[in-house]
């Protein structure tokens, strides 16, 4: 059996759409109806007319799709988590809110549905700066959870002050100044672009700081041929596909999110065949979380 052909057949039969994050395995990227970052995938989830959404990413992304399309079957082919999202529970956020009763909550999309339900507005790495500038007044006290590095970057770019927690992405946090020095020595003509989930010490040495969609746009429009990529290495496959003739080097070969690599073609096929792995959320959580996501989508 040709697995890809069978996936395409079942997709048509069941009126399904396959949404794939930029960090997924190459063979999963190749079957995507839409390939993107968290913001782009959120928008597509809200807009799709498909009956079934097969979400090739991690749990918080599939939950976001379910929140935006509660009447659709949203399937996560493998129950892959996100270490950062797991660093903050709804109960922990409630405690922070109790300590700062007048504060508003800005939550990163890399959070559980219950955290989104307790937040005023959500953001992604692509629009956190815009939202911080435009969604709050200068007098607003703002809790920004859970990523300390994205909060620091957003704070530096906007001048705002945030109440933060100690969450982080282990993959991005493991990238170091030593990695930068080594990569620049190996590729002296290359631009270094990094994700805002990186530590401030790495961001300070970069030529540009971008979400994954921002990286794609930067490379497309840049006349240079060589680029050092400071994020999860899965995006390099897409960069190479979109930019033949340009060269891409990972800031670190070990920048691999193993949760993102759990989904395989066989698991996508099984998900379509059996309809298992559907995301279920309580109706009150969906309603409350939808408010924070809808507000985010106003700031595309």
Question: Per residue in 108-161, pLDDT tens?
Answer: 999 999 999 999 999 999 999 999 999 999 999 999 999 999 999 999 999 999
pLDDT digits (tens, 9 = 90+) for 97-111: 999 999 999 999 999
**Per-residue confidence at 251, pLDDT binned at 50, 70, 90?**
very high
Q: How far apart are CA 15 and CA 96, in angstroms?
A: 43
- CATH class as words, domain 85-168: alpha beta
Q: How far apart are CA 8 and CA 29, in angstroms?
A: 14
Q: Mean pLDDT, to the nearest integer, of 11-16?
A: 96
Q: Residue 38: what pLDDT?
A: 78
Q: Residue 37: what pLDDT?
A: 86
Cβ(210)–Cβ(218) below 8 Å: yes
Q: Residue 1: what pLDDT?
A: 62
Q: Residue 124: what pLDDT?
A: 93
Query: What residue spans define the domains of the chain?
Result: 3-81+260-279, 85-168, 175-250
pLDDT digits (tens, 9 = 90+) for 26-84: 999 999 999 998 778 878 888 999 999 999 999 999 999 999 999 999 999 999 999 99
Q: Residue 299: what pLDDT?
A: 84
Is the domain defined by 175-250 classed in CATH 3.40.50.10800?
yes
DSSP 80-97: ---TTGGG--HHHHHHHH
Q: Residue 86: what pLDDT?
A: 96
Mean pLDDT over each residue of the chain, to the nearest integer: 96
How close are the terminal C-alpha atoms of the chain, in Å? 42
Q: How far apart are CA 1 and CA 94, in angstroms?
A: 50
pLDDT digits (tens, 9 = 90+) for 214-239: 999 999 999 999 999 999 999 999 99
Question: In angstroms, what CA-CA distances link 180 with 174, 191, 201, 207, 237?
Answer: 12, 11, 10, 11, 21
pLDDT higher than threshold 80 for residue 300? no
- CATH class as words, domain 3-81+260-279: alpha beta
Q: How far apart are CA 158 and CA 127, in angstroms?
A: 12
Q: Residue 277: what pLDDT?
A: 87
Q: Mean pLDDT, to the nearest integer, of 242-246?
A: 97
Q: How far apart are CA 192 and CA 184, in angstroms?
A: 8
Q: Residue 46: what pLDDT?
A: 82
Domain 3-81+260-279 matches domain 85-168 at the CATH topology level: yes
Q: Residue 237: what pLDDT?
A: 97
- Radius of gyration of the CA atoms of the chain, in A: 19
pLDDT higher than threshold 90 for residue 244? yes
């Amino acid at each position: 059996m040709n697995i890809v052909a069978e996936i395409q057949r079942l997709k048509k039969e069941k009126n399904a759409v396959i949404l794939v994050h930029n960090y997924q395995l190459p063979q999963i990227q190749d079957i995507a109806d839409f390939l993107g970052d968290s913001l782009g995938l959120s928008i597509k989830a809200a807009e799709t007319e498909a009956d079934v959404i097969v979400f090739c990413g991690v749990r918080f992304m599939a939950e976001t799709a379910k929140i935006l399309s509660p009447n659709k079957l949203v399937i996560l082919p493998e129950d892959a988590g996100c270490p950062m999202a797991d660093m903050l529970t709804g109960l922990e956020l409630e405690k922070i809110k109790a300590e700062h009763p007048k504060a508003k909550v800005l939550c990163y999309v890399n959070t559980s549905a219950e955290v989104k339900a307790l937040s005023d507005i959500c953001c992604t790495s692509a629009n956190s700066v815009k939202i911080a500038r435009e969604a709050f007044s200068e007098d607003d006290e703002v809790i920004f959870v859970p990523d300390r590095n994205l909060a620091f970057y957003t704070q530096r770019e906007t001048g705002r002050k945030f109440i933060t927690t100690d969450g982080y992405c282990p993959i991005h946090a493991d990238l170091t100044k030593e990695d930068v020095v080594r990569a620049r020595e190996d590729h002296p003509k290359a631009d270094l672009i990094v994700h805002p989930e990186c530590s401030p010490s790495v961001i300070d040495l970069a030529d540009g700081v971008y979400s994954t969609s921002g990286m794609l746009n930067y490379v497309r429009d840049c006349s240079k041929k060589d680029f050092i990529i400071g994020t999860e290495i899965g995006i390099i496959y897409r960069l190479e596909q979109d930019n033949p003739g340009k060269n891409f080097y990972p800031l670190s070969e070990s920048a691999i999110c193993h949760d993102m690599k759990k989904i395989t073609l066989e698991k996508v096929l099984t998900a379509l065949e059996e309809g298992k792995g559907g995301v279920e959320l309580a109706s009150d959580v969906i309603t409350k979380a939808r408010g924070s996501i809808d507000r985010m989508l106003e700031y595309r």
